[in-house]
Amino acid sequence: MVCVSNPERRYVISFGCPDRTGIIARISGFLAEHGGWIVEAAYHTDPDTGWFFTRQVVRADSLPFDATELRARFAEVAKSLSAESSWQVSDSGERRRAVILVSKAGHCLYDLLGRVASGELDVDVAAVIGNHTSLGDITRAHGIPFHHVPFPSGNAEAKSAAFAEVRKLVDEHDPHAVVLARFMQVLPADLCEAWAGRALNIHHSFLPSFVGARPYHQAHARGVKLIGATCHYVTADLDAGPIVDQDVIRVDHGDSVEDMVRKGRDIEKVTLARGLRWHLEGRVLVHGNRTVVF
């Protein structure tokens, strides 16, 4: 077995199913039978719901068949474990694609583009879509198409048309991740549904505190001593989707709202990047409104 940072091709198997004895033996037996070399294995049981979760990473060259065949054979295993609806087999040899939605604030976009450019975040950014034009130049400097879709305020019909345009631009790339990098627009229910489990948002507070608009102003008014950031899957309930990661940073009475905004950026950037990385690596399994992060 070799470490996960080794660039060799791997298959990642993950699923959730009702817990019972013998699940680990079933999966590891299936893999051992074909010579599968497991390089990472993680398990979790949720005692409240009696549900079992796992993620296994296997060296591709240790198996005598390709991803398609692995999927076909693993479907049998999944069925025998009542995991039909949740199992996934992904192939590290297939490139991942992301589309990033932005507004005016550029710190998360600059950060993500820098990570991609320096090879840290292994994803193709297919496009960046902004409701302002200000982040077009940096996007194009990275060789990525930028689409400007204006969102006229206060006009429901025009907003609806703008979201339809965004959806079209996103869906033509069929991305593995739709990243709301401080997009500042509430996704309509149909987009939440269409992108369920793929749309990641960064909210600039330690949820569930300070849902909605101007969370740093809310935090300042409440006099908290730490501010936070939350990366979560987008659902139809505002800022209430399954949480992938959170972080905090210390503030004190000397910090104005503007200071909080500045300090908060550092945790927004890192929390979003970490959440996106985990999502792309298939580490995040959603279970009800919670996540298992392997």
**Catalytically active residues, by annotation:** 239
> SS3 string of 210-239?
CCCCCHHHHHHHHCCCEEEEEEEECCCCCC
Q: Which of residues 222-261 bind a second copy (CB under 8 A)?
A: 222-226, 228, 242-248, 252-254, 256, 258-259
Rule CB under 8 A: choose which of 5, 153, 154, 156 binds a second copy.
5
State how far the Cα of 172 lies from the Cα of 189, in Å rounded to an integer: 19
Positions 7 through 26 that interact with a second copy (CB under 8 A): 19, 21-22, 24-26
Distance CA 74, CA 66 (A): 12
* Span interacting with a second copy, options 42-50, 68-76, 183-191, 196-204, rule CB under 8 A: 42-50
Residue 86 within binding range of a second copy, rule CB under 8 A:
no
**Rounded least distance, CB 11 to a second copy, Å:** 14
Among 16, 36, 215, 264, binds a second copy (CB under 8 A): 36
Which of these ranges, 38-46, 71-79, 159-167, 170-178, lies near a second copy under the rule CB under 8 A?
38-46
Query: Which of positions 111-170 make contact with a second copy (CB under 8 A)?
Result: 111, 113-115, 117-118, 120, 137-138, 141-142
Cα–chain center distance at 279 = 4
Q: Is 26 left (phi over 0), alpha (psi -120 to 50) or beta?
A: alpha
Decide whether 3 or 156 has the Cβ nearer to a second copy.
3
The residue within the footprint of a second copy, chosen from 79, 148, 168, 290 (CB under 8 A), is 290
CA dist 74 and 214 (Å) reads: 47
- Residue 245, beta-bridge partner list: 231
> Which residues 254-273 are close enough to bind a second copy by CB under 8 A?
254, 256, 258-259, 262, 265-266, 270, 273
Q: Please name which of 98, 102, 150, 146 lies closest in space to residue 268, comparing C-alpha atoms.
A: 102
CB of 158 to a second copy, least distance (A): 28
By the rule CB under 8 A, 196 interacts with a second copy = no
d(CA 102, CA 184): 8
Q: Angle CA(71)–CA(73)–CA(76) in degrees, nearest 5?
A: 105
Min dist. Cβ of residue 287 to a second copy (A): 8
